[in-house]
């Protein structure tokens, strides 16, 4: 007979062997690239000692590896806590067949997705994977594939999903981040539907991984990723911070965080930040920093579509999502990318009951032949749709310009704001004085003996018509406030509207203008 001591020794040896990953050569390669190992990433991300591994003894068998099993089949799965709250995760291990996806590994990941839905807690992916193993995904095995992504869609808006791109992410693996809510991406990694070798074979392009799908592409040009990170630790820290704003699921309330920042603290810096001259630029980030709790703002997609700002903060301890125009970049104008960026952010906040704060200083949408060919109408409609559909508490502050359809999509008075206020510097109109006079009074100006004098006189008269006191007199805005009272005003609005409930007509879903 075999004793328990002998059985336990065998068990520990097997688990220890599997925990070593794919072998010293591959571990060393990760080290040389400055990357953490999969298990190190888990230990860093989760609360100390909270990780419970599921499927540690599962293994794959690849045709090219006949003398050993593939530890954990290249993906470590389990659950633990972050700030004491449950999460489930899947961490792809690049030391095992480049973290490629095999059948046993995906069975484990599916179990994690089932747990996330059943338990109502976030699902996290630590992605460092070359994609599906071609040798295992042919014929009937491939035909049953795709459920990975379908289940992510089912989970969308039910539990938070984060996919941290910590290594190269190719082929099917790239859709995991694409369907997640938050994608921090480390410099030196890449994300693409095909690796550079397949791209070379298929279309003849000879590109590097960075040129194909690095952070310079996805954090600055395509907007696929949400945050460019210097290293693994920064991406994992960002994951923890991001989750701190979210409830565990769509049935819970967002978590409050105590603050010593007085709810009615005056925002005296705003009068110094915001010029009264509509033509002068300033950075809306400075306004945000002055109104939110402790000046802390977690920005989403900060290096993409920068004329609009989106991100999370807290007001009176309550998580909020902020959508703000930034006059420092292209005057704060809206275009194809800014509309997409804002729409996705609004949908994200609305899904998890995070109130929205809109800070308006918008000259409208960009116009012209080029943007019409890009589908500016369709993209603008997407933002309009998202803001209209959102039923969370919505508070709008008109800082300066509120022109044209930009006023609408930034949650104007027709879009159910629970509170809409303006600074004395606000101008609400179909367009600015210069544009209105040039279009409406061009012939009168040309016929005048003093065209420039006539133009200035007409602009001054038009500016009187778009004065915020006229909008207040007609009840189109709720109040005109001293900028110093911005924080107090917003907090009062949040306190009053946190029980907001809106019933829409019953329907399966709308037809999204994407």
Residue 257 covered by a domain: no
Q: Please report the DSSP string for 261-325 in residue order.
A: S-TT---TTHHHHS-SSTTS---HHHHHHHHSGGG--EEESTTSSTTEEEEEEEETTEEEEEEEE
Residue 255 covered by a domain: no
Tally of CB atoms within 10 A around 274: 20
Residue 443 covered by a domain: no
Higher pLDDT, 436 or 383: 383
Do 297 and 169 sit in the same domain of this protein?
Answer: no
Residues 265-284: tens digit of each pLDDT: 999 999 999 999 999 999 99
pLDDT of 201 higher than 90: no
Residue 159 covered by a domain: yes
Do 221 and 292 sit in the same domain of this protein?
Answer: no
Tally of CB atoms within 10 A around 299: 16
pLDDT of 325 higher than 90: yes
Which residue in this structure is represented by tokens 């994690």? 112
Contact 248, 208 (CB under 8 A): no
Residues 446-490: tens digit of each pLDDT: 888 898 999 899 988 888 889 999 999 999 999 999 999 999 999
Among 162, 172, 168, which residue's Cα sits nearest to residue 105?
172
What is the structure's pLDDT at 250? 97
Q: How far apart are CA 296 and CA 314, in angstroms?
A: 8
What is the structure's pLDDT at 26? 84
Contact 374, 414 (CB under 8 A): no
Do 396 and 486 sit in the same domain of this protein?
Answer: yes
Q: Structure tokens of 378?
A: 């369709």
Do 207 and 275 sit in the same domain of this protein?
Answer: no
Mean pLDDT of the chain: 92
Backbone phi and psi for residue 163, each to the nearest 5 degrees, phi listed first: -125, 105
Biggest alpha carbon–alpha carbon distance for the chain: 113
Residues 232-251: tens digit of each pLDDT: 999 999 999 999 999 999 99
Tally of CB atoms within 10 A around 119: 15
pLDDT confidence bin for 142, thresholds 50/70/90 = low
Our CA angle for 171, 177, 178, nearest 5°, is 80
Residue 502 covered by a domain: no
What is the structure's pLDDT at 155? 96
Residue 438 covered by a domain: no
Percent of the chain residues past pLDDT 70, beyond the cut: 95
Q: How far apart are CA 214 and CA 228, in angstroms?
A: 10
What is the structure's pLDDT at 64? 58
Tally of CB atoms within 10 A around 482: 15
Q: Mean pLDDT throughout 319-333?
A: 98
Which residue in this structure is represented by tokens 């006059």? 327
Q: Mean pLDDT throughout 124-148?
A: 71
The CATH number covering residue 128 comes to: 3.90.226.10
Q: Mean pLDDT throughout 360-368?
A: 96
How many domains, the chain? 2
Q: Mean pLDDT throughout 298-318?
A: 98
Do 128 and 16 sit in the same domain of this protein?
Answer: yes
What is the structure's pLDDT at 136? 62
What is the structure's pLDDT at 365? 96
Q: How far apart are CA 145 and CA 123, in angstroms?
A: 20
Q: How far apart are CA 500 and CA 496, in angstroms?
A: 9
Do 221 and 299 sit in the same domain of this protein?
Answer: no
Do 274 and 421 sit in the same domain of this protein?
Answer: yes
Do 11 and 75 sit in the same domain of this protein?
Answer: yes
Do 231 and 92 sit in the same domain of this protein?
Answer: yes
Do 287 and 179 sit in the same domain of this protein?
Answer: no
Do 334 and 371 sit in the same domain of this protein?
Answer: yes
Q: Structure tokens of 376?
A: 């500016």
Among 487, 92, 117, which residue's Cα sits nearest to residue 270?
487
pLDDT confidence bin for 337, thresholds 50/70/90 = very high
What is the structure's pLDDT at 139? 56
pLDDT of 61 higher than 80: no
Contact 350, 392 (CB under 8 A): yes
Q: How far apart are CA 358 and CA 394, in angstroms?
A: 8
Residues 143-169: tens digit of each pLDDT: 556 777 889 999 999 999 999 999 988
What is the structure's pLDDT at 434? 86
Residue 279 covered by a domain: yes
The residue among 208, 243, 278 that closes a domain is 243
Local structure of 23: helix, strand or coil: coil
Residue 348 covered by a domain: yes
Q: How far apart are CA 293 and CA 490, in angstroms?
A: 12
Do 305 and 414 sit in the same domain of this protein?
Answer: yes
What is the structure's pLDDT at 172? 74
Residues 404-418: tens digit of each pLDDT: 999 999 999 999 999
Domain around 85: 4-243
pLDDT of 69 higher than 70: no
- Rounding to the nearest 10 degrees, give the CA dihedral for residues 283, 285, 287, 292: 180
- CB-based contacts of 420, cutoff 8 Å, min separation 6: 395, 396, 397, 398, 411, 412, 413, 477, 478
Q: How far apart are CA 169 and CA 280, in angstroms?
A: 43
Among 75, 129, 79, 70, which residue's Cα sits nearest to residue 105?
75
Q: How far apart are CA 284 and CA 268, in angstroms?
A: 15
pTM for the model? 0.94
Residues 113-128: tens digit of each pLDDT: 999 999 999 999 999 9
Residues 24-41: tens digit of each pLDDT: 888 888 888 889 999 999
pLDDT confidence bin for 420, thresholds 50/70/90 = very high
């Amino acid at each position: 007979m075999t004793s328990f001591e002998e059985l336990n020794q065998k068990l520990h040896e097997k688990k220890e062997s599997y925990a070593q990953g794919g072998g010293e050569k591959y571990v060393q390669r990760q080290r040389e690239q400055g990357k953490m190992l999969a298990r190190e990433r888990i230990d860093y991300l989760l609360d100390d000692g909270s990780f419970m591994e599921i499927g540690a003894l599962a293994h794959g068998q690849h045709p090219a590896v006949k003398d050993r099993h593939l530890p954990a089949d290249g993906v470590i799965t389990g659950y633990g806590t972050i700030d004491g709250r449950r999460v489930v995760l899947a961490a792809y291990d690049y030391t095992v067949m480049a973290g490629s996806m095999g059948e046993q590994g995906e069975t484990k990941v599916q179990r994690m997705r089932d747990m996330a839905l059943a338990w109502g807690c976030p699902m996290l992916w630590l992605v460092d994977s070359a994609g599906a193993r071609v040798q295992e995904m042919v014929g009937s095995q491939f035909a049953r594939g795709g459920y990975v992504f379908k289940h992510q869609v089912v989970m969308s808006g039910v539990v938070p999903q984060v996919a941290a791109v910590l290594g190269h992410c190719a082929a099917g693996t790239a859709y995991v981040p694409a369907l997640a809510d938050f994608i921090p991406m480390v410099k030196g990694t890449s994300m693409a539907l095909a690796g550079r070798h397949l791209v070379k074979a298929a279309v003849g392009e000879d590109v590097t991984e960075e040129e194909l799908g690095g952070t310079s592409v996805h954090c600055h040009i395509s907007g696929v990723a949400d945050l460019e990170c210097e290293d693994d630790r920064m991406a994992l820290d960002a994951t923890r911070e991001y989750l701190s704003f979210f409830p565990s699921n769509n049935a819970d309330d967002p978590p409050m965080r105590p603050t010593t920042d007085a709810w009615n603290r005056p925002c005296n810096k705003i009068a110094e930040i915001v010029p009264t001259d509509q033509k002068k630029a300033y950075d809306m980030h400075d306004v945000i920093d002055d109104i939110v709790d402790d000046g802390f703002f977690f920005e989403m997609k900060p290096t993409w579509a920068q004329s609009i700002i989106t991100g999370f903060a807290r007001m009176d301890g309550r998580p909020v999502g902020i959508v703000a125009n930034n006059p420092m970049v292209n005057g704060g104008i809206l275009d194809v990318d800014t509309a997409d960026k804002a729409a996705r952010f609004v949908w994200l906040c609305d899904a998890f009951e995070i109130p929205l704060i809109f800070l308006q200083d918008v000259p409208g949408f960009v116009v012209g032949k080029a943007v019409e060919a890009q589908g500016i109408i369709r993209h603008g409609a997407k933002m309009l749709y998202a803001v209209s559909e959102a039923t969370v508490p919505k508070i709008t502050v008109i800082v300066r310009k509120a022109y044209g359809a930009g006023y609408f999509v930034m949650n104007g008075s027709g879009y159910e704001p629970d509170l809409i206020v303006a600074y004395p510097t606000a101008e609400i109109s179909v367009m600015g004085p210069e544009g209105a006079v040039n279009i409406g009074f061009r012939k009168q100006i040309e016929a005048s003996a003093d065209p420039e004098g006539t133009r200035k006189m007409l602009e001054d008269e038009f500016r009187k018509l778009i004065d915020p006191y006229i909008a207040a007199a007609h009840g189109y805005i709720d109040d005109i406030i001293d900028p110093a009272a911005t924080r107090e005003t917003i907090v009062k609005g949040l306190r009053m509207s946190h029980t907001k409930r809106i019933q829409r007509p019953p329907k399966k879903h709308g037809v999204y203008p994407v």
